[in-house]
Amino acid sequence: MHSLPTHTHAQFLLLVLAAHALAKRERPVNATFGGFTFPAGTIEQLATEFTGHLSIPNGCLINPEDLPDGSPSQNLAALWLRAAFHDVGKYDPKNPGQPVSGLLPNYLDQVENAGIAQSIATRFAPVVKFNFSRADYIALGAQVSITHCGGPSFDFMMYREDAPHNTPFASLPHALPDDAVDSYELMKQKLYRLGLSNQEIVLLVTGSHSLGGAHKVTSPHATNKTFQAFDSSPGVFDNVIFKEMRAGRCVLNIDCGIMRDGAMKTWIELYASDEAAFFKDYALAFNKMANLGQDETSLEAVVLDVPVHKNLVVEGSLLATTASSSASTNTNTKSGGIQFRLNGALWILSIITPFMFF
């Protein structure tokens, strides 16, 4: 029997490995539950499902339709983004091949995860239909929020592996920064532990705070208000937060520390003046964060078609946020703006000047 040349053996082995990888990734056409069979959902359809929860009026801001009245926060988009960061917070660089993603639902009672329980992405689409890892659910919810609320559109990396339920994390208590009690230096060291550079810290911490705000229930050290926006466009993923930090405005201790840190100043200046650079770099930093502990060679890039939220800029302004949570709204047809009567004062938000700075 004649043996094949060595290079032919190598080529054959590569073909076998490729076929095995494809077979491993092939998803079932149908799903079953309770004796019923129905088409299995794709990752693109799951993205559409998530988008539907954010596409309602004010969906990138206050989302009372999808979150209970007693929720510490009803800002679903910002919560989905926050959850993605917290899902990898227990990553241990001493064990880089150990998946940590997908375990966030097991740690919702920890102080650092306060406010996330009601908004965890796995609650918003049936797992029996969309049979993806919890890690993919959480990362996808965050990425849909970013793009739908005006941020960058980039490929979604799917097929993340969930960490085993019995993964020990006793050596990593309070792994993420605690804005209420940690010094800025300690918070920064915790972020360095995740393998983040100064640039990536600016992107993923301050950049992510482009959406949402602080709440007195979960962040009483930062505000005594039901909702204190991080910037004047908390329902729009944009670079406004960098512009306002450059002017000296911050809400959380970690952002205030970043603002005063000379090592971070270069990046704040860059992203305040160049939103395109912010979007480009943020997409790279987000994928690095979301893939911590994963075998990136087993991930697959998928192009998502996530539409941008309608009336995003008008709804996403600070005055619109305040009005949607606690004030009556009237359309001012004479001025072409929207009037908000709040605590006896009349605010006028012009359609042509959507960003209001304080």
Asked if residue 292 has pLDDT above 70, the reply is yes
Residue ranges and CATH numbers for the domains of the chain are: 38-350 (1.10.420.10)
Please state, as a whole number, how many other Cβ atoms lie within 10 Å of the Cβ of residue 54: 22
Count of residues in the chain? 358
Query: At 333, is the pLDDT very low, low, confident or very high (cuts 50, 70, 90)?
Result: very low
Residue 325: predicted pLDDT: 52
pLDDT per residue over 54-91, tens digit each? 999 999 998 777 776 767 677 899 999 999 999 998 88
Residue 305: predicted pLDDT: 96
Query: At 225, is the pLDDT very low, low, confident or very high (cuts 50, 70, 90)?
Result: confident
Q: In what order do the strands lie in the sheet with 345-350?
A: 328-332, 337-342, 345-350
Residue 178: predicted pLDDT: 86
Residue 290: predicted pLDDT: 97
- Contact between 59 and 309 under an 8 Å Cβ cutoff? The reply is yes
Residue 175: predicted pLDDT: 76
Q: Which amino acid type is present at position 85?
A: F
Among the ranges given (11-25, 104-118, 250-264), the one the predictor scored with the smallest mean pLDDT = 11-25
Residue 36: predicted pLDDT: 60
Residue 26: predicted pLDDT: 59
Residue 354: predicted pLDDT: 32
Say whether 300 sits in a helix, a strand or coil.
strand
The two tokens of residue 234 are 């908390």
CA distances from 64 to 67, 75, 88, 116, 283 (A): 5, 8, 27, 15, 29
Query: CA 235, CA 319: separation in Å to the nearest integer?
Result: 11
**Residue 206 burial by Cβ neighbours in a 10 Å radius (0-12, 13-18, 19+):** buried
Query: At 115, is the pLDDT very low, low, confident or very high (cuts 50, 70, 90)?
Result: confident
pLDDT per residue over 156-181, tens digit each? 999 999 999 877 664 445 678 889 88
Say whether 155 sits in a helix, a strand or coil.
coil
